[in-house]
Structure 1
Amino acid sequence: MTDTRPLTTASTAFLAAARAGLTELADPRKAPDMQRYMKSEMPFRGVASPERRVLCRRLFAEHPLSDVDSWRATVLSLWRDAEYREERYVAMDLSGDRRYARWQSPDLLPMYEELIVTGAWWDFVDEIASRRVGPLLRAHRDMVTPVMRRWATDPDLWRRRTSVICQLGSKEDTDTDLLTYCIEVNVGDRDFFIRKGIGWALRQFARTEPAWVRAFVDAHPTLSPLSRKEATKHL
């Protein structure tokens, strides 16, 4: 677990307001269907994404956090103590809010790793991988690339998936050596989320370098049918 300092008064106020806001927006009629769709053990409040985003805009404006330790502690407290899945969605929204963009650094990798491993499902992991870890990789390649290489062979499924899909938004800045490595060491994995992630990463990069992706697919006959189908969907 990532260590955090004690919560500040601002953090405590934010947490109380977040939980009160979600309670006010809760729709018990929607909650069971949302939980069933997400196959979640953690219950839902029944707050739809558009309503949550409106709530977050208000929360973030009314309860600013003045330093990186307070911000990180708030994210982790909301995540760790969540009783409903929407609380974790708010924690993720807070972790990516533009007001705190200046604090995004490799020092946050332990926090994001905790969210990935304890979240352990695609709705959490895919957002963190592509919108938190990916930008850190592009901005700090020397520090983050070795971490992604380690995660690519990690026993944890969700660390491995993160290593494969973290470059979804990289376009022409894609590190093809890293992408190749992360795919090749996982190409024999039969897990759906790995096979789908490989195909997704290749399909996305095909929008920028279709010839590279075609050559990669042709050179890797052991790609699963699912990975191959996804990779070549728009070629």
Structure 2
Amino acid sequence: MTHSLVDEIMERLVRSYEAARDPERAVSAAAYMRDQFAFLGIASPARRALDRVVRAGLPAPTEEDLSAVATACWERKEREYQYFACDWLRAHVANAGPNFLLTAHTLITTKSWWDTVDALAAHVVGGLVARHPQLRVEMDAWVEDDNMWVVRTAILHQLNYRQETDTDRLFGYCTRQAGHPDFFVRKAIGWALRQYARTNAEAVRGYLSQQGHVLSPLSVREAAKHL
């Protein structure tokens, strides 16, 4: 391969995405996201099919490759490129070391909205912390951050941990941010608790009985939805 991996991926990606551009669908997709981002107008199933072709035959990426490709995708105007980066990082998070958390932080705090932040929180940051437990202390700092998307990430990073969930951290984070003024943080609290209730409903019931009075009605409603 004469190009670097990032060059090869971006050339394939731009070529594939441009050929699939749908201006009419792009308008509706942008409207759904409150016109914060431009879109190519590629539906998710079609985009993921294109992504599989783009990734075919490529070597395993290094941590540097992961950072370079994600950065290149974040620099593109259309949102689908950021979706590709989130899916690619999710697939290769095992190749990243603890220092990759710095890159994840940059992605979370740039072009921030729930669609990319949640994917990065649950599948990238969550994967990093699971593989590098020393990063738990970073989550303790993130949950107190001034940036609401960083706070949301800390609350959601254990979303897929199931029996491996650190309940002291989960419940502690929810209590510490119970009065957060932003909808997206209060919603994340309810979502994190509801998800953990699928694994340990009694623990979530117990937490709500003891601390539900400090949570927002939104958080409690979301948490108890399936209890």
Q: Name the TM-score class by shorter chain.
A: over 0.9
Q: Which residue of 2 aligns with 1:18?
A: 13
Helix, strand or coil for the counterpart of 1:118? coil
CA distance, structure 1, for counterparts of residue 38 and residue 116 of structure 2:
15
The one-character-per-residue Cα deviations of 1:13-63 (angstroms, maximum 9, x if unpaired) are 211211111111111110111011112422100001111111111111144
Q: Which residue of 2 aligns with 1:35?
A: 30
Contact 1:152–1:164, Cα closer than 8 Å, also in 2? yes
CA displacement at 1:135 relative to structure 2: 1.9
Cα offset for 1:144?
1.3
1:4 is matched with none
- 2:218 pairs with 211, 214, 226, which one? 226
Which residue does the alignment assign to 1:161?
Answer: 152
Instruction: State the identity as a percent.
Output: 35
**In 2, are the aligned partners of 1:65 and 1:71 still within 8 Å (CA)?**
no
Partner residue, 1:135: 127
2:195 is the counterpart of 1:207 = no
Aligned residue identity for 1:211: E
TM-score (norm 2): 0.93
Query: RMSD value over aligned CA atoms?
Result: 1.5
CA contact under 8 A between 2:61 and 2:95: conserved in structure 1? no
**TM-score, structure 1 length as denominator?**
0.90
Q: CA separation of 1:67/1:194 partners in 2, compared to 1, >3 Å: closer, same or farther? A: closer
Moved more, 36-45 or 70-79: 70-79
After superposition, give the CA deviation of every residue in 1:211-235 in whole Å (9 maximum; x if it has no partner): 1111111111111111001111111
| 2:29/2:41 contact within 8 Å kept | yes
- Which structure 1 residue ranges, 5 or more long, are not aligned? 1-7
Q: Partner letter of residue 124 of structure 1?
A: T
Q: Structure 1 residues 204, 71: closer, same or farther in 2, change over 3 A?
A: closer
> Which residue number corresponds to residue 167 of structure 2?
176
1:107 paired with 2:99, answer yes
2:142 to 136, 151, 169: 151
Out of 33-42 and 202-211, give the one that drifted further: 33-42
Distance 2:187 2:120 in 1: 17
Residues 61-99 of structure 1 show CA distances to partners (whole Å, capped at 9, x for unaligned) of 1443553323321221221x21111111112122122xx
State the match for 2:108 in structure 1: 116
Q: After superposing the two structures, state which structure 1 stretch, 218-227 or 34-43, moved more.
A: 34-43
- Counterpart residue number, 1:193: 184
Greater Cα offset, 10-19 or 195-204: 10-19
Q: Between Structure 1 and Structure 2, how many residues are aligned?
A: 224
Task: Give 3-state SS (helix, strand or coil) of 1:29's partner.
Answer: helix
Aligned AA (2:15): A
Partner-residue secondary structure (3-state), 1:119: coil
CA distance in 1, matches of 2:157, 2:206: 21
Task: Call closer, same or farther: CA 1:138–1:9 in 2, change over 3 Å.
Answer: closer
Work out whether 1:88 is the aligned partner of 2:82: yes
Q: Tell which deviates more after alignment, 148-157 or 31-40.
A: 31-40
Give the conservation status (yes or no) of the 8 Å contact 2:175–2:214.
no
